[in-house]
């Protein structure tokens, strides 16, 4: 039983590896120049003991934060792979007199709704005021694809690039 379980884990991890490598192929050719863009390691002292262990704190969009007019699919592709227990940090200004077009964060239920920016069955994870200050934190703590999108303007923000998908990847210990 335990052996079958182990084998299944290895198989799933291999599939994930293939998907991840496939989606970041272009970057292998470009070289490692942009690999740590926007990625912050929270537990620095811990990393000295074991460079692989410890979860990361990743600012979505890097210095562009979570904004209109930025292509997050492209961002996710160049910043892959993402790992189990990585924390995604979404930073966006709350609504105000000077910010009439705020953002939000939704999780779409499947690839089909993601491709179409169909928000009907989406689950809101952060409203327009939760991205201020240090930002809104979301931990990738499940083995599943996450389809993120901005839910504002009836899907228009999503269609304009404010969406991306990540599949957290297991680390080898
Ligand atoms: C990384 O996080 C630390 C602690 O939160 C912060 O002091 C530092 O400025 C951050 N670095 C980058 C590049 O965001
Ligand atoms: C993820 O974090 C949870 C809670 O902190 C912990 O129990 C779990 O072991 C972690 N999993 C991995 C794969 O690091
Ligand atoms: C957004 O969510 C926060 C936390 O749940 C809540 O305090 C706040 O009133 C909400 N804001 C709006 C505009 O819905
Ligand atoms: C974002 O980039 C992806 C991959 O390069 C591309 O397929 C997509 O059309 C772009 N989206 C927008 C809204 O420009
Ligand atoms: Cu938006």
User: How remote is the CA of residue 15 from the centroid of ligand 4, in Å?
Assistant: 24
pLDDT at 18 over 90: no
On whether residue 172 sits in a domain, the answer given is no
Residue nearest to atom 14 of ligand 3 (CA): 127
Q: Could you tell me if 85 and 141 are in contact, meaning their C-beta atoms sit under 8 angstroms apart?
A: yes
Over residues 85-126, the pLDDT tens digits come to 999 999 999 999 999 999 999 999 999 999 999 999 999 999
pLDDT at 17 over 50: no
Ligand nearest to C-alpha 129: 3
Average pLDDT over residues 69-87: 96
- CATH code for position 89: 2.60.40.420
pLDDT at 33 over 60: no
Q: Are residues 18 and 93 in the same domain?
A: no
Q: State the closest ligand 2 atom to the C-alpha of 85, by its place in the atom list counted from 1.
A: 1
More confident residue, 146 or 10: 146
Q: Give the side-chain half-sphere CA count within 13 A for 136.
A: 19
User: How remote is the CA of residue 39 from the centroid of ligand 1, in Å?
Assistant: 9
Pocket test for ligand 2, best of 56, 81, 84, 85 (most atoms within 8 A of CB): 85
Work out how many domains the chain is built from and give that number.
2
Residue nearest to atom 8 of ligand 2 (CA): 85
User: How remote is the CA of residue 102 from the centroid of ligand 5, in Å?
Assistant: 6
CA distance 19 to 163: 19
Q: Are residues 103 and 28 in the same domain?
A: no
DSSP readout, 13-82? Answer: HHHHHHHHHHHTHHHHHH-STTTTTTEEES-HHHHHH-SS-S-EEEETTGGG-S-TT--HHHHHHHHPPP
Ligand nearest to C-alpha 78: 4
Q: According to the model, what pLDDT value does residue 55 have?
A: 80
pLDDT at 57 over 60: yes
More confident residue, 9 or 97: 97
Residue nearest to atom 3 of ligand 3 (CA): 130
Question: Binning pLDDT at 50, 70 and 90, where does residue 172 land?
Answer: low
Q: Are residues 26 and 61 in the same domain?
A: no
Residue nearest to atom 13 of ligand 2 (CA): 84
Site residues for ligand 2, CB cut-off 6 Å: 84-85, 141
Q: Are residues 30 and 64 in the same domain?
A: no
On whether residue 29 sits in a domain, the answer given is yes
Average pLDDT over residues 120-139: 97
Average pLDDT over residues 32-58: 53
Q: According to the model, what pLDDT value does residue 106 have?
A: 98
User: How remote is the CA of residue 63 from the centroid of ligand 1, in Å?
Assistant: 12
Question: Binning pLDDT at 50, 70 and 90, where does residue 35 land?
Answer: very low
Q: Are residues 140 and 61 in the same domain?
A: yes
Question: Binning pLDDT at 50, 70 and 90, where does residue 41 land?
Answer: low
More confident residue, 23 or 133: 133
Q: Which domain holds residue 107?
A: 57-166
On whether residue 43 sits in a domain, the answer given is no
On whether residue 138 sits in a domain, the answer given is yes
Question: Binning pLDDT at 50, 70 and 90, where does residue 171 land?
Answer: confident
């Amino acid at each position: 039983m335990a052996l079958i379980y182990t084998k299944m884990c290895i198989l799933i991890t291999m599939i994930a590896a293939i998907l991840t490598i496939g989606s970041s192929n272009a970057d292998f050719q470009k070289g490692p120049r942009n690999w740590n863009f926007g990625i912050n390691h929270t537990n620095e002292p811990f990393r000295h003991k074991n460079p692989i262990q410890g979860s990361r704190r990743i600012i979505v969009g890097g210095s562009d934060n979570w904004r209109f007019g930025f292509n997050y699919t492209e961002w996710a592709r160049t910043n892959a792979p993402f790992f189990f227990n990585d924390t995604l940090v979404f930073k966006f200004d709350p609504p105000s007199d000077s910010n009439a077009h705020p953002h939000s964060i939704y999780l779409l239920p499947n690839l089909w709704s993601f491709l179409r920016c169909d928000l009907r069955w989406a689950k809101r994870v952060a409203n327009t005021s939760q991205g201020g200050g240090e930002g809104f934190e979301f931990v990738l703590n499940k083995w599943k694809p996450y389809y993120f999108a901005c839910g504002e303007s009836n899907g228009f923000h999503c269609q304009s690039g404010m969406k991306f998908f990540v599949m957290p990847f297991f680390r080898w210990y």
